[in-house]
Structure 1
Amino acid sequence: MRATLRWAQADLRTHRGEALFIVLATAGIVASLLLAAALFGYATNPWQRVFTQSHGAHVWIHTGPSADAARLAELDGVAAVSGPYPTAATTVESRGTRATVELRGTVEPPGSGRPLLTAGRWLDPAEPDGVVLESSLARSLWAEPGDILTLPGTVRTLTVLGVADSAEPRYRPGEQPGLVWSLPSTVRRADGRGGQVIGLRLDDPEDTDYAVQRAVTVLGSGAVSEVSDWRQARAAAQGDNRLLGQVLGLFGLGALVAAALAVHGAIGTRIRGHLRDISVLKAIGFTPGQVVRIFLLQHLAFALLGAVVAAALTQALGRLIPGRLGDAVGVWQGLPGHTAALFAVPVAAVLFIGATTGLAAWRAGRVPPVPVLRAAAPLGGRLSGVARGALGLRVLGLRLPPALVLGWHKAFTRRPRSLATVSRLALPLLLIVVALSAWTTIDRFHSRPEQIGLAAALTVRADESLSDPDARTLLAQNPRVAAVHPGVEVAALVPGQTGTIALRGLGTRRDPYPFSLAEGRPARGPDEAVAGQGLLDLLDVRIGDWVRMTVGAQPQILHIVGRSIEPENGGRVISTSLDTLRENDPGLRPTLYQLQLRPHADPHRVAAELTASAHGRFDVHPVTNPADGLSPLRGVVVGLIAVLALIGLIELLTAIGGTIREGERDLLALKAIGLSPRQITAVTVTATGCTALAAVLVGSTLGMPLAHWLIDVQGRSSGIGAGVAQGPSPVLLLLFGTAAVLGAAALAALPAARSGRRRLADTLSAVA
């Protein structure tokens, strides 16, 4: 054991840089995997915690005020009922910010779907104008207990008594109204459209679709205006955090594989370079098992050190990371599975690295105790016909430098080993190309939102006192507004009546709305529509199919002629022209206006100008860009690229060391034919550069389609749909490849120069 430790200590002193790189790469990989686990926990468990503690309802059904919703308590499979509660749709304002809300009348907190107070107190009959806001609505309004809310167009005010968490869908401006709990008397005094809502908690959550279908059958489709279930609420609550977790997990696993292969290659190269040392170890009494354990345990110790460092730093400093990552780690550390994940992830990473390095260490145990005489032929092998022809080739009257030809020949003469080296180096480069594609796709969302379904920058909802012509005139008067598209968005029941989708009528046939299409064609004719990927998946339909939906008691049949990129509502959107909807309802008037702005116009400034020009009769909201929630992904991408570059550097150093060691016997032949030390150095640098160039070509060629496939798969699963992927520009790829090749050549220059200046006596001793 003492001899084993002394040999390991001597080897560590000789290869300090390689050991440091392995430790750092393992630390980066394990940290990425731990952050991915934190983001997954943050995405799922907060909603699950609220749902469990509040005894949440699996289905919320909105009906008209005359429907007998209480009958739903008698349905089979319904374990508990929340409500029915009277509701009213209205608008509230706080500190200049408006929000469309649903007032829900109740006195006592319900037993099922109970709001969880996070600040303030519950409703008090002694304060008839007191309300409790759902937490996401409170954040949007910058409201807290004690603040006063106004109802635009009236002199009434509401006092915020508390803020509460709820497992129902969160407030989204222009898409999902905010939830406000109030006394029934407050709801009755509201001027908005009235109705009622009831929540059903089921014995089996998997029976949600069936329960909704039964409920709609009992009440009648005309009585049901909207249905939402726990799956939609959970998906909305997870949002972009799940995407961040998936990206971190994917790249963490990819980096783990790359690091394991890099360590495997490093051990294999070191074994080939230390055959005499291993033979000496066996000659003095080391068994094959002991030799295997030396190499295996040494690299397991490096991996273990990196994993422990990553786990300690994540636990101690993870919550200090700015933005969503820090919040995710803070929440994750309070979840029940945190300790198990903090232990399991590093252990799994260390075991995986150990498993991949076991084969190379086993080869070390097979080295005979008596060194085998090396072949007399040069290690590089005989020159091929192509190489011999290239030595005599002239380009523009100049002969190709021998160092260039010999370096190229040296890089690819041993095909199995060369292919393995190129493959190991290409893997981190491939993942870097995928990361750059993710970065470019996010930039596309910001710089060219019209290409990913966000042609409009502002959504305006006009007061009922404004007629449609007057509203359009006021909006078009602003010099920064390029186009005004009137529209309507309503909730529609899907076939089978198991859920609701968003039905939109935007633009007219004369002035159509510029939808971003990924497949098919625009909706130009009567009854034609385009749909998002989420809707196609929900209804299991394709382009060319006809779909039937119900808006209130009115059926609507549309012909899907194209697939649009829909970043809203999980892609569960079907869009047609306003003229098509007016064919069923001639009295239909626009309820919203989508505004396209001129280039370089500031949406927030335009929104303020429109609100001022309409004297408060416009409710203006910027269109939500999904990329706004992906801003933390930029920092993630930078960190991942750094980890992958570190892994690539380890593999590159291994390749350089192997090239120099295997070229020691060629050194005599190169000096014999008259090559100077500088030319000999150029041979090794060229060989390294050619290996790096081949890896760059392989990584770029495979990375681009892989990146498009991964991004499109994620887009399809989120409902946005395929077609949003954007690869890095050719210029960026060229710069990336050039930097990789030149960096590899520069990294090989110093050790190659040292090898080229070795004395003949040293070289003879090395090949003896």
Structure 2
Amino acid sequence: MRATLRWAQADFRAHRGEALFVVLASAGVIASLLLAGALFSYAANPWQRVFNQSQGAHIWLHTRGGADMDALSGVDGVAALSGPYRTAATTVESRGTRVGVTLRAAEAAPPETGRPLVTAGGWLARPDDGDRDGSVVLEDSVARALWAEPGDTVRVTGPDGAPHVLRVGGIAEVAEPRYQPGGGPGIGWVLPGTLDEIAREDTGRSVGLRLEDPGDTDFIVQRAVTVLGADRVAQVTKWQQARAEAGGDDRLLGKMFAVFGLGALLAAALAASGAIGARVRGQLRDIAVLKAIGFTPGQVTRGFLVQHLAFALLGVALGTAAIALMGARIPGRIGEAAAVWQDLPGHTALMIGIPCGAVLLIAAATGLSAWRAGRVPPVPVARAALPSAAPMTALGRRALGMRVPPALVLGWRAAFARGGRTLVPVARLALPLLLITVALVAWSTLDQFRSRPAQVGRPAALTVRADQPAGPSDSELEKTLATVPDIAAVHPGAEMAALVPGQTGTITLRGLGTARHPYPSTVVEGRAVGGPDEAVAGQGLLDLLGVRVGDWVRMTVGGRPQILHLVGRTIEPESGGRVITTTLDALREREPQLRPAFHALVLHEGADPRAVSGTLALAAGGTLEIRETPNPADRLEPARGVIAALIAVLALIGLTELLTQISTGVRDRGRDLLALKAIGLTPRQIGAMIVTAAGLTALVSAVVGTAVGALAGSWLVDTQGASSGIGAGIARLPSLPVLVMVVVGAVLGAVAAAALPATRAARRRLADSLSETL
């Protein structure tokens, strides 16, 4: 054992540069993977991120006037209070859209507990600071529903019906249930003086309770209600409810990022093990000498295993410590994600699991390389007898005879020398490029949701509802809609809840469009509705009922049966895909007096929904409720930053693998370079040959990686879409120029990485290369 350790120490001193590369490669890969894990948690768990950053309250109590809120501070288990805030139920209107909002009277300084996180604009400003009209800060989902931005003015109607004009001072996120059309009211914050002008009576109070133990939520709710009096408490909101509403997004993003993370970990482990294996192959002469002086195969194996495991552990420890200590200081979103990650669920598991997983994979690869080192024959001259490259083929000789540049011919021969062994470096370098292409497929799919909503089940950009009973009649509404030039089509519709067979679940039955003018649903399987009693459905409904396109479905609506024939499957982002859509005429066969509950508006290409909404609001005189059709891309927007960071991580892993292959190739072809110099090749030609070999290897790897990645990415995105209920058929491949850029970038990176090793190899003298024969 002492001899093994002494040899390992001497080997480290003799090859410090190689050892340093292995340590830094392991540290860089682990640091990149940990940053990717931080970004994954940051994006895939938005509610928890907001809750931790805002010191959110676990319980929100909404009470009627007169409740003694101060008594809650004495309840055991309550760590801090947010508020209490005086509240008023109002209606906020902007651009023809009206939203129910509960305004809270807050101070000019944001609270410490339950603090709204301002994402745009600023917090509340006092009138003496230049805010003459009064300002309001809107919760993010309310601002999106109103299409409101900082600086806009909104109309607020208080409990007495009097209108007030407020300026939107900011937009904020909170860890409370988000506003949804048809659900509970949204949240807004104003100064106490502003709320006094809007609602002069004591309308209610809201208070948030941050608990010492979140598991005591139900018990603390009972105690709080007892302290305040059950007749004083109007509503209770618990943190589990808010987290559950955001849970669908978390699961979808979490699955996608888990696949990316496992792939990146595998690519990183292969890159690190490749660097270790290359270092072992570079010391075959030393190993032969060791065996010649009496080292056993077991001693050689243990020596390499201990030595390289120590390098891997050191690199992993350095990378982990760097992220733990310095990650939060990185500028931009990466640093913010690293800072928040420490308080997110799964932080400890990832901080331990990623390094341990990488060490285990590296240990397995190191053990294999060390075992091969133990089998090296103790006769160093035998290496010189082995051919280091394939013999020149007839095609190569013919190319040289046709005056093809020798660097190109010899570079091709060096890159693809031995058929079976050539596949290994190509496959190793193709893996990170494959994952980069998969990430680009996910990015293109998100772009499709944003730029081409009609192709992902959102052809209608606006939904219009008339005020009842004061609103216009159906004929008057259609005339008003016809006066707006940017509206391409108007489709009347109605939605209702329906019970599935056996009455064990509820689905959404939607009548949209008429038999003469059907709604342009995005049908990806089967066909569109074209006759009576025909319908199309989302993937979630097909999975729920266990039916396929072509089957008949029976459901119960208002106690009466409704039987429809499924003729197609559509992309359906709403309600987990548990939606069945037919024409309004089909619903009127069961209920002849059915009136449209809303009208879906399809706009001309290039029309701005906000401008159309404003024009329509003016034309209707404020009698319409106009809403923008929700876009699933809004929920997945945080994934963009994560995908970009993932591409950077994979590029670093690919660069590590590329550097390993280049250094290995230069060392393994030492005798070839000696022979080429002897027959008269110039240093420039030798350098060009090495660069060409690296570029050709990268070219083949990039072509294979992008081709397989495009297929795998489409399958992965469609599989995720099907599992979430949206349905397969949403994947979109990146454009051809983007894929070409990936290939070109890989080749240029290989050429740039090979430039320095090629220059050093070309400048070596003949005497310096004689050792390569041993």
Band of TM-score, shorter chain: 0.7 to 0.9
- Other-structure match for 2:368: 359
| Counterpart selection for 1:270 from 279, 288, 292 | 279
Alpha-carbon distance between aligned partners in 2 of 1:549 and 1:291, rounded to the nearest angstrom: 69
- Other-structure match for 1:418: 422
CA apart distance, 1:473:
1.4
Deviates more, 1:736-745 or 1:424-433: 736-745
SS of aligned partner of 2:565: strand
Alpha-carbon distance between aligned partners in 1 of 2:767 and 2:698, rounded to the nearest angstrom: 32
CA apart distance, 1:274:
1.9
The 3 A distance-change label for structure 1 pair 745 and 599 is: same
Aligned residue pair count: 640
SS of aligned partner of 2:382: coil
- The one-letter code of the counterpart of 1:242 is R
Alpha-carbon distance between aligned partners in 1 of 2:345 and 2:698, rounded to the nearest angstrom: 46
Alpha-carbon distance between aligned partners in 2 of 1:290 and 1:730, rounded to the nearest angstrom: 50
- The one-letter code of the counterpart of 1:630 is L
CA apart distance, 1:600:
2.4
- Other-structure match for 2:29: 25
Alpha-carbon distance between aligned partners in 1 of 2:761 and 2:115, rounded to the nearest angstrom: 71
The 3 A distance-change label for structure 1 pair 235 and 328 is: farther
Alignment of 1:583-622 (within 5 A): 583-622=589-628
- Other-structure match for 1:574: 580
Alignment of 1:310-709 (within 5 A): 310-313=323-326, 316=328, 322=333, 330=340, 333-334=342-343, 338-367=347-376, 371-376=380-385, 378-392=387-401, 394=402, 399-464=403-468, 465-709=471-715
- Contact 2:718–2:727 (8 Å) recurs in 1: yes
Alignment of 1:4-403 (within 5 A): 4-5=8-9, 7-8=11-12, 11-14=15-18, 16-17=20-21, 19-37=23-41, 93-94=91-92, 96=94, 150=157, 171-173=179-181, 176=183, 178=185, 236-279=245-288, 287-288=299-300, 289-313=302-326, 316=328, 322=333, 330=340, 333-334=342-343, 338-367=347-376, 371-376=380-385, 378-392=387-401, 394=402, 399-403=403-407
- The one-letter code of the counterpart of 2:620 is A
The 3 A distance-change label for structure 1 pair 711 and 139 is: closer
- Contact 1:685–1:752 (8 Å) recurs in 2: yes
- Contact 1:303–1:353 (8 Å) recurs in 2: no
Deviation string 1:137-188 (CA, Å, 9 cap, x unpaired) is: 799689xxxx99748996799xxxxx99999x85423x656599xxxxxxxx
Alpha-carbon distance between aligned partners in 2 of 1:371 and 1:448, rounded to the nearest angstrom: 65
Alpha-carbon distance between aligned partners in 2 of 1:530 and 1:381, rounded to the nearest angstrom: 61
What is the RMSD of the two structures over their aligned residues, measured on CA atoms? 3.9
Alpha-carbon distance between aligned partners in 2 of 1:489 and 1:178, rounded to the nearest angstrom: 21
Alpha-carbon distance between aligned partners in 1 of 2:411 and 2:484, rounded to the nearest angstrom: 67
CA apart distance, 1:410:
1.6
TM-score normalized with structure 2 length: 0.74
The 3 A distance-change label for structure 1 pair 364 and 303 is: farther
Alpha-carbon distance between aligned partners in 2 of 1:353 and 1:328, rounded to the nearest angstrom: 25
Alpha-carbon distance between aligned partners in 1 of 2:517 and 2:24, rounded to the nearest angstrom: 64
Alpha-carbon distance between aligned partners in 1 of 2:315 and 2:580, rounded to the nearest angstrom: 55
SS of aligned partner of 1:595: strand
Deviates more, 1:272-281 or 1:409-418: 272-281
- Other-structure match for 1:64: none
- Other-structure match for 2:190: none
- Contact 1:36–1:246 (8 Å) recurs in 2: no
The 3 A distance-change label for structure 1 pair 234 and 572 is: farther
- The one-letter code of the counterpart of 2:463 is T
Alpha-carbon distance between aligned partners in 2 of 1:294 and 1:172, rounded to the nearest angstrom: 59
Alpha-carbon distance between aligned partners in 2 of 1:92 and 1:589, rounded to the nearest angstrom: 28
- The one-letter code of the counterpart of 1:94 is V
CA apart distance, 1:678:
1.7
CA apart distance, 1:530:
0.6
- Other-structure match for 1:88: none
- Contact 1:458–1:596 (8 Å) recurs in 2: yes
Deviation string 1:60-99 (CA, Å, 9 cap, x unpaired) is: xxxxxxxxxxxxxxxxxxxxxxxxxxxxxxx962254855
| Counterpart selection for 2:727 from 697, 718, 721 | 721
Deviation string 1:561-605 (CA, Å, 9 cap, x unpaired) is: 001111111111111111111111111111111111223222122
- Contact 1:42–1:328 (8 Å) recurs in 2: no
Alpha-carbon distance between aligned partners in 2 of 1:233 and 1:588, rounded to the nearest angstrom: 35
Deviation string 1:9-50 (CA, Å, 9 cap, x unpaired) is: 553435645543432222111222344356556568999xx9
Alpha-carbon distance between aligned partners in 1 of 2:143 and 2:487, rounded to the nearest angstrom: 30
- Contact 2:278–2:660 (8 Å) recurs in 1: yes
- The one-letter code of the counterpart of 1:417 is R
SS of aligned partner of 1:375: helix
Alpha-carbon distance between aligned partners in 1 of 2:406 and 2:180, rounded to the nearest angstrom: 67
SS of aligned partner of 1:301: helix
- Other-structure match for 2:191: none
- Contact 2:463–2:601 (8 Å) recurs in 1: yes
- Other-structure match for 2:107: none
- Other-structure match for 1:206: none
- The one-letter code of the counterpart of 2:92 is S
The 3 A distance-change label for structure 1 pair 427 and 494 is: same
Alpha-carbon distance between aligned partners in 1 of 2:564 and 2:591, rounded to the nearest angstrom: 15
- The one-letter code of the counterpart of 1:304 is A
Alpha-carbon distance between aligned partners in 2 of 1:378 and 1:328, rounded to the nearest angstrom: 50
CA apart distance, 1:727:
0.7
CA apart distance, 1:347:
2.8
- The one-letter code of the counterpart of 2:180 is R
Alpha-carbon distance between aligned partners in 1 of 2:353 and 2:263, rounded to the nearest angstrom: 18
Deviates more, 1:581-590 or 1:667-676: 667-676
SS of aligned partner of 2:383: coil
SS of aligned partner of 1:530: strand
Deviates more, 1:242-251 or 1:277-286: 277-286
Alpha-carbon distance between aligned partners in 2 of 1:633 and 1:369, rounded to the nearest angstrom: 55
Unaligned runs of 5+ in 1: 57-90, 104-116, 121-132, 158-162, 181-229
CA apart distance, 1:531:
0.4
SS of aligned partner of 1:374: helix
Alpha-carbon distance between aligned partners in 2 of 1:96 and 1:693, rounded to the nearest angstrom: 54
Alpha-carbon distance between aligned partners in 1 of 2:638 and 2:60, rounded to the nearest angstrom: 33
Deviation string 1:363-402 (CA, Å, 9 cap, x unpaired) is: 334445653432346411322334334433x4xxxx3222
SS of aligned partner of 2:356: helix
- Other-structure match for 2:134: none
Alpha-carbon distance between aligned partners in 2 of 1:463 and 1:265, rounded to the nearest angstrom: 68
Deviation string 1:178-233 (CA, Å, 9 cap, x unpaired) is: 599xxxxxxxxxxxxxxxxxxxxxxxxxxxxxxxxxxxxxxxxxxxxxxxxx9999
- Contact 1:44–1:238 (8 Å) recurs in 2: no
CA apart distance, 1:307:
2.8
SS of aligned partner of 2:458: coil
Alpha-carbon distance between aligned partners in 1 of 2:735 and 2:608, rounded to the nearest angstrom: 27
The 3 A distance-change label for structure 1 pair 375 and 290 is: closer
